[in-house]
Amino acid sequence: MTNRGGNGAANRARQMVEGIGQGVLGLDGDWRIMDCSGALPRVLDCSRQDLVGRTVWEISGFEKESPFGVFAQRVARTQASEDAEISYPGQHGRRLLTARIFPLGSSVGAVLRDITEVRAAERRLADSEARYRGLADGTPAAAWLSRADGELEFINQAMADALGRSRQALLGEGWTAAIDPEDRPAMLEVRAKARVSHTAFRYEGRFRRADGTLRLIELYGRPRFDRSGAFAGHVGMATDVTEVRANEHQQQLLIGELNHRVNNTLATVKALVTQTLSEAGVAKEVGAVVAGRLKALAAAHDVLNLERWNGANLVDVAEAIVRPYPGAKRITLDGPPARLEATGAVTLALALHELAVNAVKHGALSTASGEVRLTWTAAKNAFVVVWTESGGPGVTPPERSGFGSRLLVQGLRADLDFAPGGLVCRIRVPAWRDEGPRPGH
C-alpha cells in the first residue's frame, strides 16, 4: 500500500522549492546526502542521482575545510543555524552560492541559492559608481550625489572647495550647516518638495565657508532611480555665481546710469527743439508733434533698458506707446509671444506713435464708438504687425502725405491701406535672434 497523499505533498513541496530557485540538501549522521531537491542539481551541474548517497565532502566547494564544511560541522555541534557563502567550480564557470545551514537531527540540512548574477550585478554597479566618482573627482565642476532621504553620500573635491569645507564635514546632513541661516528654510523646502515629487530642482542661495566668507551658490539636482524604478535620490552640480551676480548688478547700475543720461539728453533735445520752434514763430502744434516723437523714442528706450538692450517683448513696446493716449482702452492687443530685436522695437514704437496720434486726431479714436485692433503674427525671422481701425469717420486717401505718413511708408517701410471702413497699416519688424542666454536670465 502506498501513501499517495504523502508523495503528492512531497512532490508539491519539491516543485515549490524549485520554483523559487533554491536548492535543499539533507545529510545523515555520516554526512552522506540523503536527498537534494529544488534547483541544487541544476546549480551543481549534475543529476540528483549523482549526488544522493555520496558524502558531501566529496563535492568540490563543500569539503570539510571549506566555509560550508566549517559551518556545517559547527551547526552539528551547536545545533544553531548559520549562513555561509560557497564558491563552486561549475561546468560553465565558477558559481557563488549562499547556504542557510540548519540542524537536522544528528546531522544538518541546508537551503542553497545561486547568487552569481546578483554579485556580478553588484560588482558592475560598484565599478560604475567608482568610475563616476573618479570622473567626478577629476572634473573642475562641483558634483554631488544624495540618497532618497536627502543626505549627501558623495561630493567631489570641487564641491568641497566651492563650499570651503572638508568633504567629510559636508556628507550626510553636514552640508546644510553651510547654508546661510536666512536662506536655509527656503533651501530645505525646495529640497523636500523635490524629494517628495521625485523631480529636478534648482536653487540659488548664500553659503558660508569655514573662513566665514559668504558665497552665492546655485544648486541643481535631477532625480535618479534604481533598477526597479524606485527613487534613489538626486545627482547634481553646484556653481559659484558670486562674481557673476556681482557683475550683473554692476552692469545694471551702469545701464541705469546710461538710461538716466539718455533720458536727460532726450529731455534736453525736446526742450531745445520746442524753444527753437517757438522763437522761430512756428506753431505750437509742430513743437508738440516733435515732442511726442521724442517721447515715443524715450519710451522705447525705457523698455529696452529693462531688458538691458537684449531685445524687447512686442506687447511691452505696444503698451508703453499706446496706453497713454485718450481712448487707449478701445485698443485691443492680440498675438502670440513675440520678442523683437532692439532696432525693431524702436521702429515699432515710432510707427505706433504716429498711428495712435492720427487715430486720436482723425481716425477711430476721434469718435466715441471707434476701435483699434493691434494684431501680430509670426513670419520668417520677423513679425507682421497689423493696425486696424474701425467705427471711426470715413477714410479717404490724403491728397498730400504728411511727415507722419512719409515716416511710416519711407522710413519704416509700412504698408498703408486707406480702406473706407478704417485705416489698416502693416509693418514687418525683425524678430529676436537667440544667440545665447540673456544676462540676468
Q: What is the pLDDT of residues 274-290, one digit of tens each?
A: 667 666 666 666 667 77
Kind plus residue range of the DSSP H or E element containing 319: helix 314-322
Burial environment of residue 142 by CB neighbours within 10 A (0 to 12, 13 to 18, 19 or more) = buried
Final residue in a domain of this structure, among 185, 214, 240: 240
pLDDT greater than 50 at residue 437? no
What is the predicted pLDDT for the residue at 324?
A: 86
275 and 413 share one domain: yes
300 in a domain, yes or no? yes
CB 94 within 8 A of CB 87: yes
119 in a domain, yes or no? no
What is the predicted pLDDT for the residue at 193?
A: 95
Compute how many other C-beta atoms are within 10 angstroms of the C-beta atom of residue 219: 22
Distance (Å, rounded) from C-alpha 149 to C-alpha 234? 10
CATH value at residue 330:
3.30.565.10
Burial environment of residue 384 by CB neighbours within 10 A (0 to 12, 13 to 18, 19 or more) = middle
Distance (Å, rounded) from C-alpha 201 to C-alpha 238? 12
* 371-379, strands of its sheet edge to edge: 331-334, 371-379, 382-390, 422-430, 415-419
What is the predicted pLDDT for the residue at 104?
A: 85
Mean pLDDT on 30-36: 86
Mean pLDDT on 170-194: 93
Kind plus residue range of the DSSP H or E element containing 379: strand 371-379
Q: 421 Cβ partners below 8 Å, 6+ apart?
A: 390, 395
326 and 379 share one domain: yes
Looking at residue 151, what DSSP letter applies?
Answer: -
pLDDT classification of 221: cutoffs 50, 70, 90: very high
Count of domains for the chain? 3
Per-residue pLDDT tens for 203-217? 999 999 988 899 999
Looking at residue 330, what DSSP letter applies?
Answer: G
What residue type is assigned to position 335 of the chain? G
435 in a domain, yes or no? no
CB 232 within 8 A of CB 145: no
Lowest pLDDT segment from 159-168, 294-303, 407-416: 407-416
209 in a domain, yes or no? yes
pLDDT > 90 in the chain, percent: 30
298 and 270 share one domain: yes
pLDDT classification of 336: cutoffs 50, 70, 90: very high
CB 61 within 8 A of CB 46: no
122 in a domain, yes or no? no
Per-residue pLDDT tens for 55-102? 989 887 888 888 888 999 999 999 999 888 888 776 677 788 888 899
Domain containing residue 293: 245-430
pLDDT greater than 70 at residue 182? yes
437 in a domain, yes or no? no
Distance (Å, rounded) from C-alpha 374 to C-alpha 316? 13
> Can you list the alpha helix ranges (DSSP code H) found in 178-234?
184-197
pLDDT classification of 8: cutoffs 50, 70, 90: low
CATH value at residue 76:
3.30.450.20
What is the predicted pLDDT for the residue at 97?
A: 82
